[in-house]
Chains A and B, each alone.
Chain A
Amino acid sequence: MSEQPLLSVQNLVKHYPVRSKGVLRRRNGDVHAVCDISFDLHRGETLGLVGESGCGKSTTGRAVLNVQPATAGKVVFDGEDLGAVGSARMRKLRQRLQIVFQDPYASLDPRMTVTDAIAEPLRIHGRYDDEGPGRVRELLATVGLNPEHGNRYPHEFSGGQRQRVGIARSLALRPDLLVLDEPVSALDVSIQAGVVNLLEDLQQELGLAYLFVAHDLSVVRHIADRVAVMYLGQIVEIGNRDELFDRPAHPYTQALISAIPLPDPRRERIRARERIVISGDVPNPVSPPSGCRFRTRCPKFAVLTETEQRLCVEETPALTERGQGHPAACHYAEVLTVV
């Protein structure tokens, strides 16, 4: 992994202003959606970005595409800083950076045939020529759909098929990187498996890099090479998939993995007794807790002595390796097996 990463996110910050109601709409705070996160993504690799609602994982995905300018920090794609390039250059680069959305019912125009939907990105970038129709048929076949069905409308397809259309559309411009924003969470499990397999096959064939944003850790464990866990806008732990799932070091990662029930009754009866149930809810991202953001719910914090707790309150733990084999943002990181 010594080569230059395809994507490098460096100290990315994204704040959204919160404005008061009424005429003045005074700015009275910021939602700290993403706070100082960094990661690399290499060609052909899948990085899973996981966390609960509101942790900033989708915002990170959007920031990577440079759809909304970052508040601070850099997104470097193939050596170019996306925040610094002009709009003409960005247009060019965007062909290589594509996104697949969560809801295949909302992301396709109901009045466009599937062929038109897939041809649209080609037309927008002036790449729909004589070979266009052939390319669209080829794309339909690539995602496992019948090319004869191209003249149908989205409502004639099932959820899984629509998601396949969304994937075909994102592949039209032959991108290098796909941001997959919860691509399978709207689908029933039996359908989901086919789409997951498709994503794996496409990566093999086309050498795509995936930024896989999801809340379902089981899917992420299946598909990702590396995983970053986010909590309240920060990455709290990052590492190779098996390393992170088998030897999680951050109390939040441990609680997250422990909370997921396994489809395995015998093991589940044992796990249920040992489950780490964290109390409360995610704090308001407008005013996150000082120091470590997880401390208000942290099972570890609760059993620390007062002197030890002071460190958690006063100092934000850095995302560094503390002898657990991979970086975790906890002053008192300690490996615990929870699967």
Chain B
Amino acid sequence: MSDPVLEVEDLTVSFPTEDGVVRAVRGVSYQLRRGEVLGIVGESGSGKSVTSMAVMGLLPASARVGGSVRYRGQELIGAPDKELQRIRGGRIAMVFQDPMTSLNPVYPVGDQIAEAVRAHNDVSVAAARERAVDLLAAMQIPRPRERARDFPHEFSGGMRQRVVIATAMANDPDVIIADEPTTALDVTVQAQVLQALETARAATDAAMVLITHDLGVVAGSADRVLVMYAGRPVELGGVDDIYYTPRMPYTLGLIGSLPRLDGRSERLVPITGAPPSLLDLPPGCPFAPRCPMRAEICDTDEPDLLAVGATDHLAACHFSADLDGRRPEDVFAQTSLDSAGGAR
């Protein structure tokens, strides 16, 4: 196996606020090799986006970032802006959820892609423009030469996102980080954008981090999956391990909560309660209050992310061994109640 292009080690992020310190990310580690796709899944507030913003060095100055992020061995945390600018957009590219925030509304899209090309390569304006047209064509934008002169508002949502992906692949990056790239889009457009992402990844042979809350999107495109909960990775493994033999109750619960398009779900298996506030987390496992397998130790000791059975499959649960071969409905109650309620 090749050396990893991106190594994240014990990354932590906290935000001081008036009410106290919000510990948004509490120790994320992963390695990424060329051509590999890592899916990061989790619910709102699980820290999946903040993790990637920290990797890119895009967090506001008030954020306290700890740990280490190495691109080809070079430390990025605390690196001078000048260094980061060389890598950001060039070697590590990012695709955000809302293309309208990554595109400048007052410049034609072709100019914006060309700008990205010229920021990292010593080429003429004409050559950069030519490259922009090629990239738009690669993203299957019809009549790319004419469309390069159009402004972002003249494109539909799905096309805008493809323009952003074209910009991301402009400099042949080693890593593409896509943060909820299809979340606001309709399904038929989502299929177009996912295809465009795959095209971009194949063309550049980059590694990709795909952040999403949609377990379907990850199933089709990721090699490995990292599940996050309350700012911590709670499970990491090959995509098949995560979906078919999860070893953390939260992952199992997520899978049980999903209604199935192929009609296999009789009754959904919800996880009661809501994720904890990251403001003052109690000790112990953050999932314990919602976990049907909770025991005394869960309230006092936060479990480490440890290997379970198969190689490269890690889970953070004191009782991960007990989950072997169990289905969501064996572990969770098929209720319609909310844990805060419980009146009936």
Contact = CB atoms under 8 A, between A and B. Distances in A.
Given A188-B44, A260-B187, A279-B192, A144 B337 contact: yes
B271 interface: yes
Contact of B338 (A161, A218, A255): A161
A298 to B, nearest CB: 12
Nearest to A161: B338
A140 B343 contact: yes
A77 to B, nearest CB: 28
Interface in B243-263: 243-244, 253-263
Contacts of B43: 188-190
Contacts of A195: 336
A141 B341 CA distance: 7
Interface stretch (B102-110, B208-216, B297-305): B208-216
Interface stretch (A171-179, A196-204, A285-293): A196-204
Most buried by B among A146, A164, A188: A188
B190 interface: yes
Nearest to A188: B43
Interface in B142-192: 156-159, 186-192
A191 B270 CA distance: 6
Contacts of A269: 220
B270 A194 contact: yes
Nearest to A141: B343
A222 interface: yes
Nearest to A297: B188
Contacts of A221: 259-261, 263
Interface residues of A, number: 62
A160 interface: yes
Nearest to B340: A146
B265 interface: yes
Contacts of A197: 267-268, 270, 334-336
B187 A259 contact: yes
Contacts of A53: 186
B220 A268 contact: yes
B344 interface: yes
How big is the B interface, by class? 35 or more
A112 interface: no
Interface string B317-344: 0000000000000000011111011111
Contacts of B269: 193
B10 interface: no
Nearest to B186: A52
A40 interface: no
A281 B189 contact: yes
A282 to B, nearest CB: 8
A143 B342 CA distance: 10
Given A260-B216, A262-B219, A190 B259 contact: no
13 contacts: A141-B341, A189-B43, A190-B270, A190-B271, A193-B256, A194-B337, A196-B268, A197-B267, A197-B270, A215-B187, A265-B243, A277-B191, A281-B156
Given A145-B338, A164-B338, A281-B157, 4 more contacts: A190-B270, A195-B336, A201-B336, A221-B260
Interface of A: 52-53, 140-147, 149, 158-161, 164, 188-198, 200-201, 215, 217-219, 221-223, 242, 245-246, 255-269, 271-272, 275, 277-279, 281, 339
